[in-house]
Amino acid sequence: MAQPFLEVSGLHKDFGGVTATNEVSFDMSRDEIVGLIGPNGAGKTTLVRLITGILRPDRGSIRFKGKNIVGKKTWDIVNQGIACTFQNMRPFRRLPIIANVMVSCLSPRAMKRGEWVKKVEAKAMDALEFAGISDMALEKASTLSQGDLKRLEVARAVATEPELLLLDEPFGGLSPAETDLMAKSIARLHKGGRFGRLHSEGPAMIIIEHKLAQLMKIVDRIIVVNFGTIIADGTPEQIVANPEVVQAYLGEGGG
Ligand SMILES: Nc1ncnc2c1ncn2[C@@H]1O[C@H](COP(=O)(O)OP(=O)(O)OP(=O)(O)O)[C@@H](O)[C@H]1O
């Protein structure tokens, strides 16, 4: 039987007395976009941080394309093809926007595709163009609005040409029009193809998001967590009809 693309099994993480991730298990395939939802503090960001190696689980396993990645350094995990964006964005504020993306282009993963330094600027520009902020390439990152910072995050992640992209609240702080544009970019990225010198692998994605109406338009499947535990896993239609999800999250005005 084929290995699942991503296989999370019995993953557990406590912070002192708080269980942030409680024996979480799920698989996903190479072609999926999975939404990860749940109330504030449910453990969504912790799960993404465990997958990217920023946090180490107390127990459990994470296998990416059949290989264990628990205990690997984040740079090694990026190199294997996983990239993420963060809810709290921390660009190199004093560097021009394009330099922020060039840093990602210099990851060993991006370099081994034959992209040497002289090509890096052009490739970073293509990533900015993909994200819709190439006109601001030479301005300092500190000048960016919340919405444009989100776009910079996406450009930085996309520049590593990931096979699995983890997006933490990509619509957070965006206006309805900006949210629509971001949703379209995400869908376009998932389709894959060439954007100038940048090749999109058409990454699988896990998207944490509270804006459910917009999220549901782009995902194949939704996983719901509450108190660190998966309480539902299904299609958007199944999730909105699930009484436990309605009680734990949707009923309190989520989305
Ligand atoms: N570094 C940490 N130290 C201590 N507690 C933490 C840490 N990170 C997360 N927690 C706790 O773990 C739980 C899960 O937090 P997490 O940020 O993963 O939730 P979330 O679902 O992403 O929330 P939100 O929707 O508000 O972003 C919360 O109770 C949080 O306070």
Percent pLDDT > 90 in the chain is 49
196 neighbors 131 (Cβ within 8 angstroms): no
Task: Give the pLDDT of residue 117.
Answer: 58
224 ligand 1 Cβ < 6 A: no
Q: Which residues pair with 26 in a beta bridge?
A: 8
88 ligand 1 Cβ < 6 A: no
Task: Give the pLDDT of residue 11.
Answer: 98
Quote the longest CA-to-CA distance of the chain: 56
The Cα 109–Cα 178 span in angstroms is 30
204 neighbors 26 (Cβ within 8 angstroms): no
Locate the ligand 1 atom nearest the alpha carbon of residue 42 and give its number.
Answer: 21
Average pLDDT over residues 43-57: 95
46 ligand 1 Cβ < 6 A: yes
- In terms of average pLDDT, the best of 5-9, 123-127, 186-190 is 5-9
Choice between 123 and 108, residue whose per-residue pLDDT is larger: 123
- Our CA dihedral for 36, 64, 61, 154, rounded to 10 degrees, sits at -40
Measure 41 CA to ligand 1 centroid, in angstroms.
5
Q: Which domains does the chain possess? A: 6-252 (3.40.50.300)
Locate the ligand 1 atom nearest the alpha carbon of residue 38 and give its number.
Answer: 21
Measure 20 CA to ligand 1 centroid, in angstroms.
6
Task: Give the pLDDT of residue 88.
Answer: 66
41 ligand 1 Cβ < 6 A: yes
Average pLDDT over residues 86-97: 73
Edge-to-edge strand list for the sheet holding 204-208: 82-85, 164-168, 204-208, 33-37, 221-226, 229-234
Which residue's CA is the closest to the ligand 1 atom numbered 14? 43
The Cα 53–Cα 75 span in angstroms is 9
pLDDT tens-digit series, residues 200-236: 778 999 999 999 999 999 999 999 999 999 999 999 9
